[in-house]
Structures are given as C-alpha cells and as structure tokens.
Amino acid sequence: MTKISLAAHPFLLGFDQLERLAERAAKGAEGYPPYNIEHQGPNGFRITLAVAGFSDDDLAITLEDRQLVIRGRQTELDEGRVFLHRGIASRAFQRSFVLADGVEVVAAGLENGLLNIDLSRSVPDSIVQTIPISRK
C-alpha cells in the first residue's frame, strides 16, 4: 500500500517538513519528567518541568533546529549511602518540544525543583503582503 503524504497535495507548497516535525515531536513522548505548558498573555508560553533533586549544573537547555531540548543528568553522590526505599527518580532524561516559526526562548529559571522556560511568539506587523510584478 502506498503512503499518501499530506505534503504531496499540490495546494500545500512548502509543507513537506510538517510530517518530519510531527514525527520529531512524537519521539519525545516519554513520561519523565512530568511537565506543564501554560499560556501567558497574548503571545507568551511557559513550560514547567518537575526536576526535583537536579541543580542548575545538572540541566542543559539547547535549541536545535527549532527543537527545544532539555537534558538532565545528575552526578552520582550515592557513595556510602544505603537506601531502604528509593522513590525519588534520579535518572537522566531528555525532553523535546518543537517550536513554531517566530517562537523564541526568553528566559529559563530553576526554583523549588521546578524548571521554568518562558517562550514568546513574535507576531508580524502585517499579514497581507503585496508582491510587485516586474516587466521585461
């Protein structure tokens, strides 16, 4: 059976990356760490990740080809410690979010075990654009 692509439609020119973006977004569907996404104001967003036990040195935030990637890796300080129960996760993680064109990372902060990443969407001044026709 042949797979029909959304981007193959003749009226959808330049949307060939849409499927790749959807596939990249689906890859980061793991459940750890838990997160919230809030809408703030008309053009703002905040992503909040629960990263209890991680310090700011254990976390890395990068922007890679419109993909926001948050990585966490704790240093092992378990020498000489004997756990009777270990319920606080300390495993490494990677969480990714695909950002639309015009969405920028404004700030990031760590407070009370929550990593907050603020995003802002820039809105173009004019959506209607007149294209001049040249004569030969």
CATH number for 106: 2.60.40.790
Task: Decide if pLDDT at 3 tops 60.
Answer: no
| CA separation for the pair 5, 95 (Å, rounded) | 27
pLDDT digits (tens, 9 = 90+) for 20-66: 666 666 665 568 899 999 999 889 999 999 998 899 999 999 998 88
Look at residue 100 and tell me if it is in a domain: yes
Residue 18 lies in a domain: no
pLDDT of residue 131: 80
pLDDT > 70? residue 133: yes
Owning domain of residue 40? 25-76+86-121
Q: Is residue 133 part of a domain?
A: no
pLDDT for the residue 21 = 64
- Residue 128 inside a domain? The answer is no
Distance CA 59, CA 105 (A): 16
Is 3 a member of any domain? no
Between these two residues, 75 and 43, which has the higher pLDDT value? 43
The percent of residues above 90 in pLDDT, for the chain, comes to 46
Q: Looking at the predicted structure, is the pLDDT value of residue 113 above 70?
A: yes
Q: What confidence category does residue 78 fall into, taking pLDDT thresholds of 50, 70 and 90? A: low
Under 8 Å between Cβ of 48 and 114:
yes
Using DSSP, how many helices (H) and how many strands (E) does the chain show?
A: 1, 7
- Among 5-9, 10-14, 75-79, the range scoring the smallest mean pLDDT is 5-9
